[in-house]
Amino acid sequence: MTPTKTFTMRATCSGLLILAAALPSARVTAQTEADTTLGWPNVYQPPSPPLLVLPLPAPAPPAVPVWSWEPSRFGALLQVGTDWPRDDAARRLVGKKASGGGGLALQWDALRLERIATFSLDLGWLTAKSTTSQDFSGLREELKTNSISLGLSVRHYLRYWLAPYARVAGGIGWDSVTVGTGTADLHDRRAFSQGSLGGGLFFRSPRLRLGPSVSGPHVGLMAHIEGGYLLGTSSDFALTSASATTASTPIPGSPVSIGKVGHDAPYLRIAVGLAF
Amino acid sequence: MRRRFLALSLLLLPFSACHDAIPDNSTPNALLPTVALADRAAFVEKNSHMAFLLDPADKALVPRMVSVGKAPIAAVKRNATNQLLVLSSGTRGSAKDALVPAQLQTIDADATVPSAVYPLASSFDGLAQSADGGFAVLYHAAAAQDSTNTALFNPNELALVNLASPPSGNALPNPYPKSIRSFGGVPADVKFSPSFTFAGKPRTLAVVLAQNYVTILDLGNLDRTEITVPLSPDSTSSFMPRQVLFDTANSNDPTTPNVNLYIRADGSNDIFQVTLAIDLGTPAPTPPSNDFHASLSMLAAGTTPSDLALYGTGVDTRLAVVATGSRTLAIIDPRTSSTTSIPISIPATQLVVFKATSPSTPSVTIPEDRALLVDTSSGSNSVLFADLKSIETTGGIALHDYPLGASATSVVPLVDQGIAVIMFGKYTGVSALTVVDLTSRTLSPIGSGGGQAGATMIDTQSPSRVWSLDGSNGISYLNLVARDGQARLATGEVWLDQSIADVLPLGQASSDKHRYLVVDQNDPNSVGNVTFLDADNPDRTTARTAYGFLLTNYLERGNP
Contact B343, B327 (CB under 8 A): yes
Testing the interface with B: which of A256, A268, A272 to mutate, by most B Cβ within 10 A? A256
Structural contact between residues B104 and B44, judged by C-beta atoms closer than 8 angstroms: no
Distance from CA of B134 to the nearest CA of A (A): 35
**Looking at residue B245, what is its pLDDT?**
96
Task: Name which of B10, B23, B27 is nearest A225 (Cβ-Cβ).
Answer: B10
Give the model confidence (pLDDT) of B267-287 as tens digits.
999 999 999 999 888 888 888
Q: Are A84 and A98 in contact (CB under 8 A)?
A: yes
Whether residue B240 contacts residue B266, with contact meaning beta carbons closer than 8 Å, is answered with: yes
A81, closest residue in chain B (CA to CA) = B14
Q: Say what percent of chain B tops pLDDT 70.
A: 91
Inter-chain contact A247–B546, Cβ cutoff 8 Å? Answer: no
Domain chopping of chain B, boundaries = 29-179, 186-300, 303-450, 454-560
Q: How many CA atoms lie within 13 A of B350 on its CB side?
A: 19
Which of the four pLDDT bands, split at 50, 70 and 90, describes residue B13? very low
Q: Is B18 helix (H, G, I), strand (E, B) or coil?
A: coil
Q: What is the pLDDT of residue A31?
A: 40
Amino acid B18: pLDDT: 42
Domain architecture of chain A: domains with CATH: 74-244+255-275 (2.40.160.20)
Interface test with A, best of B25, B472, B527, B557 (most A CBs within 10 A): B527
CA-CA distances (angstroms) from residue B188 to B228, B242, B328? 15, 9, 28
How far apart are the C-alpha atoms of A136 and B49, rounded to whole Å?
10
pLDDT value at residue A46: 55
Average pLDDT over residues B366-374: 93
Residues forming a β-bridge with A188: A177
CB-based contact A256 B547, cutoff 8 Å: yes
| CB-closest option in A138, A225, A270 to B26 | A138
CATH fold label, B454-560: Lipocalin (2.40.128)
Instruction: Give the sign of the dihedral formed by CA B553, CA B554, CA B555, CA B559.
Output: positive
> Would the pLDDT of B450 be above 80?
no
Of the residues B10, B11, B18, the best mutation for testing chain A's interface (the one with the most A CB atoms within 10 Å of its CB) is B18
- Checking if the pLDDT of B256 tops 60, the result is yes
Cβ-defined contact of A134 to B560 (cutoff 8 Å): no
Three-class DSSP category at B388:
helix
**Mutate which of B15, B50, B52, B525 to test chain A, going by most A C-beta atoms within 10 A?**
B525
Residue among A131, A183, A253 whose CB faces B524 most closely: A183
For residue A39, give how far its alpha carbon lies from the nearest alpha carbon of chain B (Å). Answer: 29
List chain A residues with pLDDT less than 50.
Answer: 1, 7-9, 11-38
Write down the pLDDT at residue A93. 83
Residue A12 Cα distances to A4, A5, A18, angstroms: 12, 10, 10
In whole angstroms, give the CA distance from residue B296 to residue B302: 19
Q: What is the CATH number of domain B303-450?
A: 2.130.10.10
Answer yes or no: do A179 and B551 touch at CB < 8 A: yes
The class level of CATH for B29-179 reads: mainly beta
User: Where is mean pLDDT largest: A137-146, B31-40, B312-321?
Assistant: B31-40
A92, A252, A256: residue with CB nearest B551:
A256
Buried b (16+ CB within 10 A) or exposed e, A195-207: ebebebebebbbb
Tell me what ipTM this predicted complex has.
Answer: 0.75
Q: Give the minimum alpha-carbon distance from A135 to chain B in angstroms, rounded to a whole number.
A: 6
Summarised one tens digit per residue, pLDDT across range A191-235 is 999 999 999 999 999 999 887 777 788 899 999 999 999 999 999
Amino acid at B298: M
- Identify all chain A residues contacting B531, using CB atoms and an 8 Å cutoff: 251
Total beta-carbon pairs less than 8 A apart between chain A and chain B:
163
- Which residues on B lie below 8 Å from A238 (Cβ)? none
Do the domains B29-179 and B303-450 sit in the same CATH topology, yes or no? Answer: yes
What gap in Å lies between CA B527 and CA A264, rounded to an integer? 29
Which of these ranges, A27-36, B6-15, B177-186, has the smallest mean pLDDT? A27-36
DSSP B23-81: -S------BPPPEE-SSSEEEEETTTTEEEEE-TT-TT-PPEEEE--SSEEEEEEETTT
pLDDT value of position B170? 78
Test B26 with A133 for CB contact under 8 angstroms. Answer: yes
- pLDDT at residue B7 greater than cutoff 60: no
**What is B95-154 written as a DSSP string?**
SSS--B--EEEEEESSTTSPPEEEE-SS---EEEE-TTSSEEEEE--GGG--TT--S---
Q: How many other C-beta atoms lie within 10 A of the C-beta of residue B285?
A: 13
B116, B86 in Cβ contact below 8 A?
Answer: no
**Nearest-CB residue to A100 (from B17, B553, B554):** B17
Evaluate if residue B534 carries a pLDDT over 80: yes
Comparison of pLDDT for A246 and B389, the residue scoring more: B389
For residue A106, give the 3-state DSSP assignment. Answer: strand
Nearest to B372 by CA among B345, B348, B343: B348
| Cβ contact B556–A131 (<8 Å) | no
Find chain B residues with C-beta within 8 A of A136's C-beta: 26-27, 29, 47-48, 554, 559-560
pLDDT of amino acid A135: 65
- Judged by average pLDDT, the poorest of A84-88, B28-32, B533-537 is B28-32
CB contact under 8 A, A268 and B14: yes
- Lowest model confidence (mean pLDDT) among A204-218, B209-223, B472-486: A204-218
Task: Encode pLDDT of B329-363 as tens digits.
Answer: 999 998 888 999 999 999 999 999 999 988 877 78
Given an 8 Å threshold on Cβ–Cβ distance, is A132 in contact with B23? yes
Binary contact (B11, A81; C-beta < 8 A)? no
Give the residue from chain A lying closest to B60, CA to CA: A254
pLDDT of B110-160, one tens digit each?
999 999 999 999 989 899 999 999 999 999 986 655 556 667 888 999 999
- Look up the pTM and report it: 0.83
- CA geometry: angle at B230 spanning B227 and B234, to 5°? 150
